[in-house]
Chain A
């Protein structure tokens, strides 16, 4: 079946560096993509989303890039801080879909 996956299960970066978290999807009908941050023992927190009619969207310290040709999504975090340490999930959906389809997550560890 269709799936959403992540290239790396863990990512360790130094404080102040930029982080890039990648996500591959396989459903060619996917037209909505979203990134969540989940801290230990808490629910996922919305970071940023993007629709398929865009290839880039920026938020505060975060940028999402969408490459529909190769079905790839990435989340860039600028000047990573210790508070950014968490698990990051990408998810996708389509207009005909009824819910979000989540990937397995990438653990980001920010070291001082």
Chain B
């Protein structure tokens, strides 16, 4: 089945530590996105990528970094500069960037030890 796989499901970070969240898709989609979701809130865009080797900052990019070396993969690194990293992180993809449905993975829940 085609879809988006996020791993791990749960992740714990120590103070001052960088952690990387994995996102893989086999939908052959060009565009990929990372969102952050806080309790009782909507989704906020962190980074997006229209195509391999290209990515752009979203609304809340500070403290995060991404790479897009392969079409299928769009990992997100939560750096120690992100002072409030506890959240539910969602990865999505769409055929192309722009006004069309995005398909989501089942998220990674990041907590601070």
Q: Are B90 and A43 in contact (CB under 8 A)?
A: yes
A contact residues around B97 at 8 Å (CB): 98-99
Interface residues on A, range: 20 to 34
Mask of B55-96 contacts with A, CB within 8 angstroms, 1/0: 010100000000000000000000000000000001010000
Q: Are B43 and A97 in contact (CB under 8 A)?
A: no
Beyond A46-B101, A49-B101, A95-B99, is A104–B107 a contact (Cβ under 8 Å)? Answer: no
Q: Are B98 and A98 in contact (CB under 8 A)?
A: yes
Q: Are B106 and A43 in contact (CB under 8 A)?
A: yes
Given A9-B40, A43-B90, 12 additional A-B pairs, CB 8 A: A41-B109, A43-B92, A43-B107, A45-B104, A46-B101, A49-B100, A91-B43, A98-B56, A98-B97, A99-B33, A102-B43, A104-B42
B residues adjacent to A (C-beta < 8 A)? 4, 6, 33, 35, 40-45, 48, 50, 56, 58, 90, 92, 97-107, 109
